[in-house]
């Protein structure tokens, strides 16, 4: 854990399975930052919709968001393709996005005092949730590399799915994320591009760390 002098906010945007979550967790642990995988919130809501189709409504989600706990994001069911597709559809709902945004902003700007700041990753963090972030990164990789990573994750969970199904799902997610009217995925001009296609997790972390350290020490 690295101690820093001032509270910092780190914003990361990325397409699905680019490795942003892994890097955000490593960065958060190293600098003692509160970490929130914002995509997991939509996946959690997507799972709730799949499990409670008759109860699902704006008021139902509003109540559930107030009761969200960090441990809820560790549910392995959130990684399924079905939940991912459901999450992508829900992310288009403007009313639900506002609820989620309020939750994200609270986490970003008011983390517990035991942390040195916050680190959030998602699809619209750099320009919608933390536009004044101290560090902004856009983490990506080519679609085949991302599909292989997600496929391996799912196989570890013993999910019965083919690589081609995962590839199709990732492409569909990309299309939805980049083209939705509300908070689409995009790289802002002030975001630093990190392409993880040919980088190991360690190499990627060290690259991001060097960028952060350079500014902190300046």
CB 61 within 8 A of CB 87: no
What is the model's pLDDT at position 4? 58
Q: Over pLDDT 70: what percentage of the chain?
A: 97
pTM, 2 dp: 0.87
Q: Which residues contact 80 (CB under 8 A, 6 or more apart)?
A: 154, 159
Higher pLDDT, 59 or 79: 59
What is the model's pLDDT at position 113? 93
Mean pLDDT of 27-38: 95
Say which CATH architecture domain 24-209 belongs to.
Answer: 3-Layer(aba) Sandwich (3.40)
Sheet order of strands, 192-195 included = 34-37, 117-122, 8-13, 135-140, 192-195
Mean pLDDT of 55-59: 93
What is the model's pLDDT at position 80? 86
Question: Which tens digits make up the pLDDT trace of 64-102?
Answer: 998 888 889 888 889 888 898 899 888 888 899 899 999
What is the model's pLDDT at position 88? 83
What is the model's pLDDT at position 125? 97
Residue 3 pLDDT > 90, yes or no? no
Question: Which tens digits make up the pLDDT trace of 134-176?
Answer: 999 999 999 999 999 999 999 998 888 999 999 999 999 999 8
């Amino acid at each position: 854990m690295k101690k820093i002098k001032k509270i910092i906010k780190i914003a990361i945007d990325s397409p699905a399975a680019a490795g942003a979550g892994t890097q955000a967790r490593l960065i958060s642990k190293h600098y003692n930052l509160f970490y929130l995988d914002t995509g997991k919130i939509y996946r959690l809501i997507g799972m709730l919709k799949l499990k409670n189709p008759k109860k699902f409504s704006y008021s139902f989600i509003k109540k559930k968001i107030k009761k969200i706990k960090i441990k809820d994001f560790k549910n392995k069911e959130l990684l399924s393709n079905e939940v991912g597709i459901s999450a992508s559809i829900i992310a288009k709902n403007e009313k639900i996005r506002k609820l989620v945004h309020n939750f994200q902003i609270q986490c970003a700007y008011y983390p517990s005092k035991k942390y040195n700041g916050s680190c959030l990753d998602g699809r619209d963090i750099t320009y919608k949730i933390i536009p004044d972030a101290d560090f902004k990164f856009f983490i990506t990789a080519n679609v085949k590399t991302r599909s292989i990573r997600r496929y391996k994750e799912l196989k570890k969970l013993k999910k019965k799915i083919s690589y081609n199904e995962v590839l199709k799902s990732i492409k569909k997610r990309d299309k939805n994320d980049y083209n939705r009217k509300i908070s689409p995925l995009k790289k802002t001009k002030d975001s630093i591009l990190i392409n993880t296609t040919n980088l190991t997790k360690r190499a990627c972390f060290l690259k991001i760390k060097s960028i952060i350290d350079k500014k902190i020490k300046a």
